[in-house]
Amino acid sequence: MGNLRKKQREKVEELFDSSKEYDQFKYEVASGHLLDKNAVNLLEDFVDQLAASYQIGIVLSSDWRLGKTIEYLRNQIFASWRFSRVLIDKTVDNDAYYSDQEDHPSALSMRKYGFSLNTRGDQIDYWLKEHMDMNIAGFLIFDDIDDGLSKKFPANFVYVQDQLLSRIDILEAQEHLTPREASQVYEDTSENREVVTKKLALHYAQFLPPSFSKSQVISFVNHLQKEIQKELNQRAFVRLNPSYHGILAKTFRNMGLIPQMELFPPNSISYIARNHGNLSIVIN
């Protein structure tokens, strides 16, 4: 936190002619300049790719939005980044940001749609319902916090597992936008969870090198299936990819081995999603 504050102060002095008058506005603008460049470049390249075929807009749902107008966010805090040009709106602030005299968003949502806004998933759902006149053909949600998102939007949510947007996250987003014929749908039963998790585990076992003994391969399959099942019991969307922070790497560690992510093709990203009593599986 101390290092961040130092960077903010240095950026304030750079942007505002070494001004010694530090206020909230200057620190907020400085913070906007300190976003991770690699992550922002990935986002902006992805936006450019989509803009070639679609009319696109970004709706901010993270804590950056709290207590700020969309104009302030677009024209001040994020003005130095290209993505600000397509920043069209933000989800409502949390109820705590509204005075007791006003109708807070949860009360409005409850009256209109029958649900309160306790999670980001609820807030995004509310925004979508309030903007049905926009005829939105599709959308993606990037977040490193699964606050009701995978449950409400399993086909739209990209869980940014390492806090900063990565190439793997962009690949997953592209998968969300491109329905695959290889997708298989099962009824969500305990028996079928056993089937699909075993299917995924066997798929990744094929990439193990010949130096792995039969017992090691069996151990890998069993450990990986167990990890997938554990995730599936807790989340509505499970992603497997060659990440050193993911399920595959954890499987190697559980076996007492050093993770060997280079064994798996970079695009070997697979998914299981639970939605409306079904299990959808995509294997790459």
DSSP string, 46-75: HHHHHHTTS---EEE-SGGGTT--HHHIII
What pLDDT does residue 149 have?
Answer: 87
What percentage of residues in the chain have a pLDDT greater than 90?
36
Residue 210 lies in a domain: yes
* Collapsed DSSP state (helix, strand, coil) of residue 216: helix
| pLDDT over 80 (residue 244) | no
Residue 57 lies in a domain: no
List the single range of 47-61, 105-119, 270-284 with lowest mean pLDDT: 270-284
Structure tokens at 80: 């130095």
- Alpha-carbon separation of residue 38 from 34, 41, 73, 164, 167 (angstroms): 11, 5, 20, 9, 10
Q: What is the pLDDT of residues 114-126, one digit of tens each?
A: 999 999 999 999 9
How many whole angstroms separate alpha carbon 106 and alpha carbon 113?
10
What pLDDT does residue 102 have?
Answer: 61
Residue 226 lies in a domain: yes
φ/ψ of residue 150, rounded to 5: -70, -25
Number of Cβ atoms within 10 Å of the Cβ of 1: 5
| pLDDT over 90 (residue 59) | yes
φ/ψ of residue 136, rounded to 5: -70, 120
Could you tell me which residue, 17 or 80, shows the higher pLDDT?
80
Question: To 10 degrees, the CA torsion angle through 229, 231, 234, 237?
Answer: -110
What integer is the mean pLDDT of 68-79?
A: 93
What percentage of residues in the chain have a pLDDT greater than 70?
93
Residue 254 lies in a domain: yes
What pLDDT does residue 129 have?
Answer: 94
Could you tell me which residue, 153 or 56, shows the higher pLDDT?
56
Number of domains in the chain: 1
Beta carbons of 274 and 232 less than 8 angstroms apart: yes
Residue 85 lies in a domain: no
Residue 163 lies in a domain: no
| pLDDT over 90 (residue 265) | no
What integer is the mean pLDDT of 73-77?
A: 93
- Alpha-carbon separation of residue 273 from 119, 128, 158, 206 (angstroms): 20, 21, 12, 23
Residue 247 lies in a domain: yes
- Structure confidence at residue 151 as a pLDDT band (50, 70, 90): confident
What integer is the mean pLDDT of 182-210?
A: 86
| pLDDT over 90 (residue 172) | no
Most confident of 1-10, 22-31, 226-235: 226-235
Helix (H) or strand (E) holding 95: none
What pLDDT does residue 180 have?
Answer: 47
How many whole angstroms separate alpha carbon 43 and alpha carbon 35?
12
Domain of residue 238, residue span: 184-282
What pLDDT does residue 2 have?
Answer: 58
How many whole angstroms separate alpha carbon 281 and alpha carbon 154?
12
| pLDDT over 70 (residue 101) | no
C-alpha closest to that of 199 among 169, 250, 240: 240
Residue 80 lies in a domain: no
Mean pLDDT score across all residues of the chain: 85
